[in-house]
Chain A
Amino acid sequence: GAGVSQTPSNKVTEKGKYVELRCDPISGHTALYWYRQSLGQGPEFLIYFQGTGAADDSGLPNDRFFAVRPEGSVSTLKIQRTERGDSAVYLCASSLRTGAYTGELFFGEGSRLTVL
Chain B
Amino acid sequence: AQRVTQPEKLLSVFKGAPVELKCNYSYSGSPELFWYVQYSRQRLQLLLRHISRESIKGFTADLNKGETSFHLKKPFAQEEDSAMYYCALSGNTGNQFYFGTGTSLTVIP
Q: Give min CB distance, A49 to chain B, whole Å.
A: 10
Nearest 5 interchain pairs by C-beta: A42-B99, A102-B94, A56-B95, A107-B44, A102-B90
A108 at the interface (CB under 8 A from B): yes
Collect the chain A residues with CB atoms within 8 Å of residue B98's CB.
45
* Chain B 47-65 interface mask (CB, 8 Å, partner A; 1/0): 0010000000000000000
- Report the bound CA distance from A55 to B97 in whole Å: 13
- Name the interface size band of chain A: 20 to 34
> Any chain A CB within 8 A of the CB of B45?
yes
Q: Is B69 an interface residue (CB 8 A)?
A: no
Q: Which residues of B are interface residues toward A (Cβ below 8 A)?
A: 4, 6, 9, 32, 36, 43-46, 49, 86, 90, 92-102
Bound CA–CA A80/B62 (angstroms)? 43
Q: With A107-B44, A107-B45 known to touch, is A33 a contact of B97 (CB < 8 Å)?
A: yes
Instruction: Judge whether A86 is part of the interface by a CB distance below 8 angstroms.
Output: no
Decide: B99 and A102 in contact? CB cutoff 8 A.
no
* Interface check A105, CB cutoff 8 A: yes
> Interface centre among B36, B86, B95, by most A CB within 10 Å?
B95
Chain B residues within 8 Å of A105, by CB? 36, 46, 97
Q: Is A23 an interface position by the 8 A CB rule?
A: no
Is A97 interfacial (CB-CB < 8 Å)?
A: yes
Contacts of A44 in B (CB 8 A): 99
* A91 B44 Cβ-Cβ under 8 A: yes
A-B CB contact pairs (8 Å), 7 listed: A42-B6, A42-B86, A42-B101, A42-B102, A45-B98, A56-B96, A101-B94
CA distance A102 to B31 in the complex (A): 11
> Which residues between 1 and 57 of chain A lie within 8 Å of chain B, taking CB atoms?
3-4, 33, 35, 40-45, 48, 55-56
CA distance A45 to B100 in the complex (A): 11
Chain A nearest Cβ from B51, distance in angstroms: 9
Chain B residues lying within 8 Å of A109, measured Cβ to Cβ, are 43
In the complex the two chains form, is A104's CB within 8 Å of B43's CB? no
